[in-house]
Structure 1
Amino acid sequence: MDQFEVLRVVGRGTAGVVRLCRRWADGELVIVKQVALSSLNKHERQAACNEIEVLDKVKHPNVVSYLDHFIEDGSLMIVMEYADSGSLFDYLQDRQEPLPESTVLRLFVQILIALDHVHKQHVLHRDLKTLNIFLHSNRQVVKIGDFGISKLLDSKSHAQSVVGTPCYISPELLENKAYGPESDVWALGCVLYELMALKRAFDAPNLPALVLKIMEGAVAPLPDTYSAQLQSLVHSMLTVDASVRPTLPAIMAAPVVQTALIDIMTDMCSLRTTPSPRAGKRSTQEPLPSRARVSRARLREWSRIVVVQDRSTTHLAVEQDFKVVTGAVGVGRVFAVTDGGSIRLWRQQNMMLSSSSPSSSSSASSATAAATRGGPKEQGTKAGSTSSAVAPTIPTWVPRRVRGLSSHRVRRMACGRCFAALITDKGLVLTFGRGDGGVLGQGNTTDIPTPTLVPALLGYEAVDVSCGATHTAVITTDSHVFTWGTSTLGALGCGPDTAVASTPRIALRPHSSDTYARVRCGHDATAVVTSGGAVWIAGANRSGRLGVDPARFPTINTFTPWSSLSSHIIDVGIGAHHVAMITRDCTCLTCGDNAWGQLGRNTSNTSSGDSALQPMSGLDDKSLVMVACGLHFTAVVTSNHEVFVCGSMRGKDDKQHAPEPTTHPTTHPTTHPTTQQHHVPRLISLATHTLASAQGGVRHETVVAPSGKKQVVEVHASDHTLLVLLALRVRSAIS
């Protein structure tokens, strides 16, 4: 104890003494718990050591921090963080009037977050009570402590011994039943009741009477100053039947809790007490010529949104100071996320044209511009209004609002067939759209029109998200990959028995020291790119697109490393029958089916595909930094901000435009965007941008070639649509 100045004794028990001390080295106030080992039996010594193990395992801002331990004069000394505002029990004892509901929720939510984190470390507290909950920083921060009787659990075990303070013991413990996290939920319900009533939920003059009250679940009415939703939550947590008691994620998802939960997470900025060592390692990685690197210069610039479909290209009109952080594209939908964290949505509508009117081209062009500016749709119907014949259509993108995000700032976004997922700047995951097949991760198949928090991920901080047609994958800061949704062909990566998951499941855990940097979902497949350049893959192995023989391995049901990789991969795109990868050497490797020319190689059209990764042809002099894949096309971006496309954006069932077998020696011509503007469809106004199409429908096509001070910051693809995000008036590249 020479390194401490003892200030006073703050607690005393049969096993030892708890002292408030000042550390000589830095003047920090700490708690030193002295446990006399000589007076303990074997089980008591084990409990003391268990507290050290648990405290070291469950680091969190809302858990009392373990600092050190040592043995001196036959006693175990445990050094812990000092909470300067006393215990929650003392605070409630001093109260005369009920706490405001907002204060109750602010305190309760912090306990909830801490307990959820503890459970995720496979630890049960087993003695949660107001005496073991401490206040800090003028009672603004709550910390749970006293893990002396906690039990480390593996994923299948249940604690058996009956322990804990009698007033907080759950009914299943009194019946000597096996228990798990449900018992901590009961104790948490008792704490919430005490916060509201300023007295214990269950109390009696003797133990038999107390047991009777607990087994009946009978509690006195709560003050009517509290909302019905909060009172209902308390009673659900104090349900005698443990099987119907809500889980911690379900409690976090309760509407009465969510607002306070978001406020607390915003105030604390993160759920973690220190940066994750894995996240820290990621920040030291060598900058890559990828989306993140290219997009850093765009934040101060004006952005443009370009939608490419088959032979049509549309610039979505936005205000001059519009700045895009990221975007997403789905079937008939385009999303753009602004630097302020809001979302813009455009939905596609087909506008009919008249082939008999000589002015139809110019009229339709004006109508398209008006529609993308949000003008009235009548303007789009004047072109050829006198024609009664069946007329062709062009896509018109109409702006729509996305509601329900006033309290969130969006950082990343992805789009599936009829749903979307997003990540906020606090690492929260929200989903909305059609709920078929559990694609929203909410534990059901209900449609949700506005972005809603995914309850199962509230205890994690997400960093990347991607959506396939019917599934979603998320990477967290602690390098876990969660998947959910529907895939009968293994895209969830959770094994052959998991085709539907309506709540997120851990599909990939950390491996060695490599961290997961990016996740990319495609058609019945998912790829995870590590910071070390490796790729983990799961899903349908159509045409050998996953790098193995499709006859032997038609599906890969659990995430498997791509064993044949010899290059450092920084990005992946997944099509219906092919895969494309960008290497750190700025080349693009492709494999799978080349029936539509989507591999960008001069190879014959085969039905079996090619499982060997090979570079694209005709782009040897280009440095490629991004990739995106649709059903039957591949788009790559060069370091000079050109976008090349190979394959077809037409539907596969469109026999009229089906490509011929690629037997020509010129399937990869070098394009010259400034000299091939005559290939641009006449209905499309590209301003200073050009569209150059090659002959045959399966060649490389320079779709967007910005000139001057313009940059391509991201590309995204859906079935037959390519989304290109541009930054204008770029002053300098920031790397």
Structure 2
Amino acid sequence: MPIINNGPSDKEPFVEVDPTGRYGRYSETLGLSDASKIVYRAFDKEEGTEVAWNQVKLGNLSDDDPSMVDRLYSEVTLLKSISNEHIISLFAFWEDDMNNTLNFITEVCSSGNLREYRKRHKHVSLKALKKWSKQILEGLNYLHTHHPCIIHRDLNCSNVFVNGNTGQVKIGDLGLATIVGRSHSAHSVLGTPEFMAPELYEEKYTEMVDIYSFGMCVLEMVTIEIPYSECDNVVKVYKKVCSGVRPQSLNKIKDAQVKAFIERCIAKPRARPSAAQLLKDPFFHELNSEDSDFKVLVMV
């Protein structure tokens, strides 16, 4: 398809174009996933829509952690194989041998990640928080009932993205996700410490670790505080999690229903409900009612 261009001065200021010529990358960054991955604003010339251009410097990763390269390829392959309205969509990916980078194009959520979005919007009703929570659960339910089952393993509010104009949220960053067989069990220790279920450290776990992380996401959404922020290092977080000590922020929640819902999510593995069961929880019943709940959720 020809690209309309009115002259040299009107040419789009792309810094880089993909091998097909369809996607153009701008210099503006949308965020840093980690030290090696940068997310740029980009444009899909065929659809006329903005997209995210994720660029990973493979040289840094292969030197520091060769397994990370494999995990990144797993992420893009995994994303390409799944489709759900609450999971970030992948459109294309390729390796740039000259610059030693892996590039992949994903949909972009207009308002960034849920952590920053919640910080910007402190006056949010309980009904809105429940809507976000339900959408995350719908994404998890899709992953967990996928054949084979997919465990995210690094669910937290910085890996959930928001379209603020519609209130839609989507799970992203599946770089640590793993596909498991019929046993639904996995064995490697990966994730973000404050959101990791205790059994993750024991290296034998199921998709229920994502439910634990989801509970911690709800806690952060409600309190606008990262769980275990009272700890000043990862070791202290690890000790508290493995000892069953709950985050101090859980005590700030006034609403008994909200607190009980979070506690169900972060219970012992066998006591945790599945994503499908949680979607039927009374916690979400009011979403179909016109009488929304605007109660204050935390101590101030």
TM-score norm. by structure 1 comes to: 0.34
Misfit runs of 4+, over 6 Å: none
In structure 1, C-alpha distance between the alignment counterparts of 2:35 and 2:224, rounded to whole Å:
29
Question: Aligned runs of 1:372-391 on 2, under 5 Å?
Answer: none
Matched, 1:64 2:88: yes
Distance 1:100 1:188, change over 3 A: same
CA contact (8 A) 1:7 1:19 kept: yes
Match of 2:151 in 1: 124
Residue 22 and residue 7 in structure 1: after superposition, are their counterparts in 2 closer, same or farther (change >3 A)? farther
Q: In the aligned structure 2, how far is the partner of 1:155 from the partner of 1:130?
A: 29
What residue number does 2:257 align with?
229
| Counterpart AA for 1:230 | V
Kindly indicate whether the alpha-carbon contact (under 8 Å) linking 2:253 and 2:259 is maintained by their aligned counterparts in 1: no
- Which residue of 101, 104, 117 corresponds with 1:78? 104
Aligned 8 A contact 1:88 1:130 in 2: yes
* Residues 7 and 258 of structure 1, relative CA distance in 2, 3 Å threshold: farther
Aligned to 1:195: 221
Please state how far the C-alpha of 1:96 moved relative to its aligned partner: 3.9
**Is 1:214 paired with 2:244?**
no
Letter in structure 1 aligned against 2:226: R
Q: Which has the higher helix share?
A: 2
**2:80 counterpart of 1:53:** no
Once the 2 structures are TM-superposed, how far is the Cα of residue 202 of structure 1 from its aligned partner?
Answer: 2.3
* Contact 1:126–1:149 (Cα < 8 Å) also in 2: yes
Structure 1 residue 212: Cα displacement? 2.7
Deviation of 1:63 (Å): 0.8
1:24 lines up with 2:24 in the alignment: no
Corresponding position: 1:93 with 2:126:
no
Q: How many residues align?
A: 257
When residues 237 and 75 of structure 1 are mapped into structure 2, their CA distance, relative to the original with a 3 A threshold, is same
- Post-superposition offset of 1:188: 0.2
Distance 2:164 2:118 in 1: 17
Hey, what's the Cα distance between the residues in 1 that align with 2:179 and 2:85?
Answer: 20
Whether 1:11 aligns to 2:35 is no
Question: Aligned-pair distance for 1:126?
Answer: 0.5
Q: Counterparts of 1:481-630 in structure 2 under 5 Å? A: none
- Match for residue 54 of structure 2? 33
Q: How far apart, CA to CA, are the structure 1 residues paired with 2:252 and 2:121? A: 16
- Residue 35 of structure 1: CA displacement? 1.7
Deviation of 1:24 (Å): 2.8
Aligned runs of 1:345-494 on 2, under 5 Å? none
Structure 2 Cα separation of the partners of residues 170 and 5 of structure 1? 38
* Distance in structure 1 (CA, Å) of the matches to 2:167 and 2:278: 22
Change (3 A) 1:58 1:110: same
Distance in 2, matches of 1:236 and 1:149, equals 25
- Higher strand fraction (1 or 2): 1
Structure number with larger C-alpha Rg = 1
- Quick check: 1:128–1:187 contact (8 Å CA) kept in 2? yes
Does residue 274 of structure 2 align to residue 254 of structure 1?
no
Which amino acid counterpart does residue 22 of structure 1 have in structure 2? Answer: F
Q: Is the 8 A contact 1:64 1:144 kept in 2?
A: yes
Task: Select the structure with the greater relative contact order (CA < 8 A; seq sep ≥ 6).
Answer: 2
The correspondence of residues 654-665 of structure 1 with structure 2, limited to 5 A, is none
Shift of 1:7: 4.7
Instruction: Indicate the residue corresponding to 1:645 in structure 2.
Output: none
Deviation at residue 243 of structure 1 after TM alignment: 1.5
Structure 1 CA distance for aligned equivalents of residues 184 and 273 of structure 2: 20
Distance in 2 of aligned mates of 1:67 and 1:26 = 12
SS state at 1:29 partner:
strand
Letter matched to residue 43 of structure 2: R
Whole-Å Cα distance in 2 between the matches of residues 210 and 95 of structure 1?
27
Q: Structure 2 CA distance, aligned partners of 1:17 and 1:253?
A: 38
SS of match in other structure, 1:40: helix
In structure 1, the residue matched to 2:10 is none
1:152 maps to which of 167, 171, 179: 179
The one-letter amino acid of 1:110's match is Q
Instruction: Give aligned-pair identity as a percent.
Output: 21
Structure 1 residues not aligned, in runs of 5+: 264-735
Q: Residue 58 of structure 1: CA displacement?
A: 2.5
Distance 1:212 1:90, change over 3 A: same
- 2:6 maps to what in 1? none
In 1, distance between residues paired with 2:253 and 2:184?
Answer: 39
